[in-house]
Amino acid sequence: MNDFILHTAVTICPHCGHTLNTVQETANPITRPPRPGDVCLCLQCAGISVYSDELGNVRRAGPAEIDALMQNSEVWDEINQARRRILEVSRG
């Protein structure tokens, strides 16, 4: 079992329509399912989304949420590194 991956309810990326059904943590083992307000990245398009409800549905991150993420340079750097890796893999 991989402590960094958690299977979730199926939802759709609001950026590209890719099916999302797994949460993967980059640095720490997952200790809980996603909660409303948690940020996620699509592994197809690297779009930044936010969990909108307890059912696992996601929506595009809004400008205020992006601004809040950018205020924490460590978090923003980690997000951008992950996005670069996703895009490198998806573009082959």
Annotate 24-39 with b (16+ C-beta within 10 A) or e (fewer). eeeeeeeeeebeeeeb
Count of domains for the chain: 1
Q: What is the mean pLDDT of each run of 10 residues along the chain (92 residues)?
A: 74 95 74 87 95 89 96 94 92 76
What is residue 1's predicted lDDT score, i.e. its pLDDT? 47
CB 41 within 8 A of CB 85: no
What is residue 27's predicted lDDT score, i.e. its pLDDT? 65
Q: What is the pTM of this model?
A: 0.86
What is residue 2's predicted lDDT score, i.e. its pLDDT? 58
CB 57 within 8 A of CB 51: yes
What is residue 3's predicted lDDT score, i.e. its pLDDT? 65
Per the structure, the complete domain to which residue 56 belongs is given by 5-91
